[in-house]
Amino acid sequence: MSVQLEPNGRLRHLLTTEGLPREMLTRILDTAESFSGVLGKSVKKVPLLRGRTIINLFFEPSTRTRTTFELAAQRLSADVLNIDVATSSTSKGESLLDMLRNLEAMQCDAFVVRHADSGAAEFIARHVRPGVAVINAGDGRHAHPTQALLDAFTIRREKGPLEPLTIAIVGDILHSRVARSQIHALLGLGAGQVRVIAPRTLLPRDIQRLGVRVYEDMDAGLEGADVVMMLRLQRERMRGALLPSESEFFARFGLTEKRLERTHPDSIVMHPGPVNRGVELDPRVADGPRSVILRQVTNGIAVRMAVMSIVLGGYSDATETGLEESPS
Amino acid sequence: MSTELPDVATLLDSLATSLNAEFERRDIGSPILVGIHTGGVWVAEALHERLAARSPVATLEVAFHRDDHATSGLKASVQSSDVPISLDGRTVVLIDDVIQTGRTIRAALNALFDYGRPGRVLLAVLADRGGRELPIQPDALGEQLELPTVQRIKLRGPHPLHFTVEEDAP
């Protein structure tokens, strides 16, 4: 039984892109497209979530993700509260639930949760009272669904439908919640071919089972790719001898202009940020004409608006068709 | 129970006539037609042809301005608004297929003003089925319909435009 989907198909929480039906993934991107139009107007705000309260609950620091969630909520006219909880891995259990009850008592409608532990968002989703939505803003190595959705949205805007595309995800797949969510979202949306490129030490075992092609050689993996999605090297998560050095990583898996020549002539380069310049990406590529990294940031606002407006809509009268048939 | 459904082309003709009379009465020169997604856009395009209007048809998605988001949620297929020209000081004709409660038009008026300050706004509707919950009335109308409250009428299209009626589950 899915925690995030109700039996009638309504999205109650967004915890992971894994298992989301294609119609729901498409619906989120289509709704984001409409919000992109809103963000291009002189009045960049709609009254959709007026009177609703959204709490950004960040147990792990992240300026960009938190800021775009905050802006998205404000563009929807919701009230937003930011709570940065000093990270203490032992403070989960009872004290987390205590904190939740207190925040719920303030009549909030949604939690946006980032946590260093995999499964934290789902844990919170299982314990909130009915009608409160949870959006996962990154949990441990598990998932980062809004990042994956904004990436898919960016690809669709830049390259059109995903079916004919070859998409290569490069870097530390093992520690990356972003990669996992990207793979589920892209395959769920029918992407033609998804490749992962990484040294064996940074590849999860059984990764092929997800439906991706695995390359340990960068040049081979980039051949003909329409989209190159670089991952951030998770230095803070790298313990032990998974890699000899960052410079060797760059030599084998860094994206340079030379390597980019192997991709499709119209290929685009993406990165979830913040970029470790000279580790994953040559600065000339990061700031070059193929890079859509800043557009990803812009698109992140529209996609998060779409997710918030979908999970916060229609709780008390959960009809699948929604407004389609409501009296005009 | 079946209801005789009106012919869309006939209604479009009568709406165009009614709108032209209104333009003449109020001395309106070059209005901007704004269709509300989805049915209203089809009506606006058909009217654009009949009225030989000069400005392109603008379209409005009102889903983000509705008052029933918390209960009914966001509809599955949200479209994008497209207002390619400035509305400031212009006469805007807001166009929809069916009016019932008036809530869609309330939402549309709010959405419209996010794009500027029109000089004047008129409302043109293909079919009025009654049941208003807000003080909003069309300035030009195709036809007044009498429908049992359990029935919903909906414009389908775009080719050809036709009405369908669905009955609410009891």
Residue B2 placed within a domain: no
Inter-residue contact A5 to A23 (CB < 8 Å): no
How sure is the predictor about A321, in pLDDT bands with cuts at 50, 70 and 90?
A: very low
pLDDT greater than 60 at residue A318: no
If DSSP codes are grouped into helix, strand and coil, which group holds residue A132? coil
CA separation for the pair B168, B170 (Å, rounded): 6
Residue B71 placed within a domain: no
Q: How many domains are there within chain B?
A: 1
pLDDT attached to residue A42: 80
pLDDT attached to residue B7: 94
- Residues in B closer than 8 angstroms to A30, CB to CB, are 77-78
pLDDT digits (tens, 9 = 90+) for A282-303: 999 999 999 999 999 999 999 9
Q: What is the ipTM of this complex?
A: 0.85
Share of chain A above pLDDT 90, in %: 76
- Residues in B closer than 8 angstroms to A314, CB to CB, are 69-74
Inter-residue contact B163 to B8 (CB < 8 Å): yes
pLDDT digits (tens, 9 = 90+) for A6-41: 999 999 999 999 999 999 999 999 999 999 999 888
The CA-to-CA distance between both ends of chain A, in Å, stands at: 36
Tokens in use for A213? 């092609």
How sure is the predictor about B27, in pLDDT bands with cuts at 50, 70 and 90?
A: very high
CB contact under 8 A, A46 and B114: yes
For A65, A96, A178, B72, B158, the CA distances from A128, given in Å and listed in that order, are 22, 11, 25, 21, 44
Length of chain A in terms of residues written: 328
- Residues in B closer than 8 angstroms to A326, CB to CB, are 68, 72
The answer to whether domain A22-144+299-325 has CATH 3.40.50.1370 is yes
- For residues A311-324, give the mean pLDDT: 58
- Residues in B closer than 8 angstroms to A312, CB to CB, are 69-70
Choose from B41, B66, B72, B101 for mutation: most chain A CBs within 10 A: B72
Q: Where are the alpha helices (DSSP H) in chain B?
A: 8-25, 39-51, 69-72, 103-113
Sign of CA dihedral A264, A268, A274, A275: positive
The CA-to-CA distance between both ends of chain B, in Å, stands at: 14
- Distance from the Cα of B57 to chain A's closest Cα (Å) equals 17
CA separation for the pair A134, A122 (Å, rounded): 8
Q: Which residue has the tokens 């119609």?
A: A23
CA separation for the pair A187, A102 (Å, rounded): 39
- Residues in A closer than 8 angstroms to B99, CB to CB, are 328
- A40 near B CB under 8 A: no
The CATH number of whichever domain residue B53 belongs to comes to: 3.40.50.2020
Residue B99 placed within a domain: yes
Residue type, position B49, single letter: E
In sequence order, what are the residues at sequence separation of 6 or more whose Cβ sits closer than 8 angstroms to the Cβ of residue B78? A30, A31, A34, B61, B63, B64
Inter-residue contact A222 to A168 (CB < 8 Å): yes
Q: What are phi and psi of A85, to 5 degrees?
A: -95, 125
pLDDT attached to residue A237: 56
Q: What are phi and psi of A240, to 5 degrees?
A: 80, -170
For A169, A237, A321, the CA distances from A212, given in Å and listed in that order, are 10, 24, 34
Q: What is the rounded average pLDDT for all residues in chain A? A: 91
For β-strands B32-36 and B91-99, DSSP reports them as parallel
Report CA Rg, chain B.
Answer: 15
Q: Where are the domains of chain A?
A: 22-144+299-325, 145-297
Q: What are phi and psi of A102, to 5 degrees?
A: -65, -45
Residue type, position A11, single letter: L
Residue B150 placed within a domain: yes
CA separation for the pair A181, B141 (Å, rounded): 51
pLDDT digits (tens, 9 = 90+) for A206-239: 999 999 999 999 999 999 999 999 999 877 656 5
- For residues A171-192, give the mean pLDDT: 96
Tokens in use for A183? 């793979």
How sure is the predictor about A115, in pLDDT bands with cuts at 50, 70 and 90?
A: very high
The helix (H) or strand (E) run that includes residue A313 is none
Q: DSSP secondary-structure letter at A287? A: T
CB contact under 8 A, B75 and A316: no
Residue B74 placed within a domain: no
Residue B160 placed within a domain: yes
pLDDT greater than 50 at residue A320: no
A22-144+299-325 and A145-297 have identical folds: yes
Residue B147 placed within a domain: yes
| B69, B75, B98 ranked by CB distance to A48: nearest | B69
pLDDT digits (tens, 9 = 90+) for B67-109: 999 889 999 899 999 999 999 999 999 999 999 999 999 999 9
Residue B161 placed within a domain: yes
- Superfamily of chain region A145-297: Aspartate/ornithine carbamoyltransferase (3.40.50.1370)
Tokens in use for A24? 């729901």
- Distance from the Cα of B58 to chain A's closest Cα (Å) equals 13
- Distance from the Cα of A33 to chain B's closest Cα (Å) equals 7
- Domain range for B31: 8-66+80-167
pLDDT attached to residue A315: 65
Which residues 300-319 of chain A have a CB within 8 Å of chain B? Answer: 309-310, 312-319
- Residues in A closer than 8 angstroms to B75, CB to CB, are 321-324
How sure is the predictor about A184, in pLDDT bands with cuts at 50, 70 and 90?
A: very high
- For residues B49-61, give the mean pLDDT: 94
